[in-house]
Each structure stands twice: as C-alpha cells, then as structure tokens.
Amino acid sequence: MDLLVSPALTIPSAELGWRFSRSSGPGGQHVNTSDSRVELFWSVTDSLALTDSQRTMLAARLERRLVAGVLTVTASEQRSQLRNRETALRKLSELVAAGLAPEPASRRATKPTRGSKKRRLAAKSRRSETKRQRQRPSSE
C-alpha cells in the first residue's frame, strides 16, 4: 500500500520500514503479549520518490527529526497495531506534506493611514485629559 502524501508525491511501500514493540500503558493481560507500538521508518536521502530539490528541502526543514537521513515516526496511542499503523502513516504523511509546503509570502510593510494617526492622537489626548483631571489642583 503506497502512501499518498499529495497529488504530486506518493511514497512507495517498498521504501517504508516497520518495527513493532510492546506499548506502555494500560491494556490488561493481553498487553504483555502483543506488539502494538509501531515505528515507521523512511529514508529521505535514499528515496526515489523525491526530486533532488524536494530531498534538500525536506532535509533542511526536518533536520531535527532526521537521524542519518532517516525519518522515524512512532505511534502507540491505540491498543490495536492496525490502528497504530494507520496513525503512523498519517503522521508521516502530514510531516512530509508540511516539509514540502511552500513558505508563506512575507508581509509587506505599510504606513499607517491618516485616519488611524488621527484616532491614535485623539485617544492619547483624551487619556491625557483624564489623567490631568485626577490630579490635585495646584496651590498657586
């Protein structure tokens, strides 16, 4: 089952590696015998599904999560291994999609309008007048 990240990118299932282990937490007697915790591995540096530009972008944006070029996702929220597999696939898909998303355009700086300047100065003078009226009258 290939992993569809976006309409332009599909990760072949042959590139995905799985490891299963016992999950911590509650679960009764069955928890000691079932390997419901899932670790999903995908080598970003060796993937044939990525172009060179996508590979460098993912390596730069996900550098904190990569260990020797391999992205690892863990899921142990569910008691079922099948559900944890689905969760791990979804997490990997979201991570890769976020890593390949274009950066938002930077905000263009604009000047305040004449009206906003007037309103700001009017509010300042009202506040100043309020504080001036709270003072004791001078003894002159």
The 3-class secondary structure across 110-130, one letter per residue, is: CCCCHHHHHHHHHHHHHHHHH
Region 88-106 average pLDDT: 85
| pLDDT grade for 118, boundaries at 50, 70 and 90 | very high
Q: Hey, what domains does the chain have and what are their CATH numbers?
A: 3-100 (3.30.160.20)
Q: Express each pLDDT in 24-74 by its tens digit.
A: 666 655 555 667 788 888 888 888 778 888 888 888 888 888 888 888 888
First and final CA of the chain: distance in angstroms? 90
With tokens 């390997």, the residue in question is 35
Mean per-residue pLDDT over the chain, rounded: 82
Query: What percent of the chain has a predicted confidence (pLDDT) above 70?
Result: 87
